Amino acid sequence: MADEFDFIGASDKPALLAISTPDWMEASKTALNELGYKVHTAATHSDFLTRFGQIQYEVVVVQELFAANTLEENSTLKSLQTMSMGQRRHATVILLADSFQTFNTLQAFQQSVHAIINSSELLLLGQLIEKAVADNTRFLHGYRETQARVLRGKSEG
């Protein structure tokens, strides 16, 4: 856990990876580092929950079989699916998988994630993550602007 005591500054873009397959982990780290993210990794489900609860990650990439043999056993994905929107709205959650199609919106909706990236497209991972984040940012722009105005109004009033 080299990044156990890694501090996050106001200008940092934190990303969290929950990936068990070493090749997928390396490809994801490389892609996110090239996009300027400060990357943290979770080794276990409880490690993921601890880290996710401490930092508002901008990007979260979860492997379909992270610390599990089947999708149904993936406790990390199940936890994300049952969290309230307030707990996970700040992050773009991406499911990295073998059994789903890249950017299939119906499958993403079914899995309660923002985007799905099929592992066959690891070579394009950086571009696909960038697109998923841009799409999510565009989708939530109005909500985030309203939320910021409400917070400013509370502090001024």
pLDDT the model gives residue 5: 60
pLDDT the model gives residue 72: 94
pLDDT the model gives residue 4: 56
pLDDT the model gives residue 157: 56
pLDDT tens track, the chain, 157 positions? 445 567 788 889 999 999 999 999 999 999 999 999 999 999 999 999 999 999 999 999 999 999 999 999 999 999 999 998 878 888 999 999 999 999 999 999 999 999 999 999 999 999 999 999 999 999 888 888 888 888 888 766 5
Residues in contact with 47: Cβ distance below 8 Å, sequence separation at least 6, in sequence order? none
Say if residues 32 and 41 touch (Cβ distance below 8 Å): no
